[in-house]
Amino acid sequence: MKIKKLEKLQDLLDKDMVWRKKELIDIKLLIHSTQNPTLCRAGIALLSAHFEGFIKQAANYYVVYVASQNIKLSELSTNFVAIHSGKVFDQCATSDKITVYQRAIDDFLTKYTTLNFKVSYSPEHPVIKTESNPSSIVVKNIFDSIGLDFSPYETKAHYIDTDLLSNRHAVVHGDNIRIEISDFDGTFEIITEFMRQFSEQVLDAAMSKKYLKTQVD
């Protein structure tokens, strides 16, 4: 997969957001029309699924976009170098021999200034993963991995871990937890706004070339 144009990145992000938001709005309308608290439980699970899915998908689209620009590793910010070097040093995880580490380091340093940043991505094998647990810690790690600032979302970390994730875990594990319509509505607004902001942040990073080691004015 390649995403060479900014317009294509925006189109992919928009399409992914649209179908997710439609499902979330549908469940919200159903909750309000039936006033059925059981649907709030289902709604929280769906909110969590789409939150995790969108953050992961948008982050992967951004990494693929950067990889499609044919930029040398030495010209990129170190988070992308780290993504690349993870593959280089995988062999070291299964050995305690210093020569294995030495060969990996020599190979990396030799190619660092000449090799373009490339990734192998598919929906089944994403570059950026969420570990099926979109806690604020996992989400912040995703931001760090793609070189984006998490600080604007710090105040929302509590909602991710409690109102969304903790309630989601209780629902999917069959716990007898009641979620009020007002609770669902509040979580819905916070999470969908988070998704919207993240989409804009990814586009801004691509547009302003924040992936480069030296910023382009």
Does position 217 have pLDDT exceeding 60, yes or no? no
Q: Which of 104, 44, 75 is nearest to 67 (CA)?
A: 75
- Looking at residue 95, what is its pLDDT? 67
Q: Which residues contact 73 (CB under 8 A, 6 or more apart)?
A: 80, 81, 84, 111, 112, 113, 115, 116, 117
Q: Which of 108-112, 133-137, 167-171, 186-190 has the highest mean pLDDT?
A: 186-190
Q: What is the pLDDT of residues 52-107, one digit of tens each?
A: 999 999 999 999 999 999 999 989 998 998 888 766 666 666 667 777 767 777 77
Tell me if 26 sits within 8 A of 43, measured CB to CB.
no
Greater confidence (79 vs 159) lies with 79
The pLDDT of 13-33, averaged and rounded, is 97
DSSP letters of 90-134? GGGGG---HHHHHHHHHHHHHHTTTPBP----BTTB-SS--TT--
Domain boundaries, the chain: 6-68+120-207, 72-116
The pLDDT value given to residue 7: 97
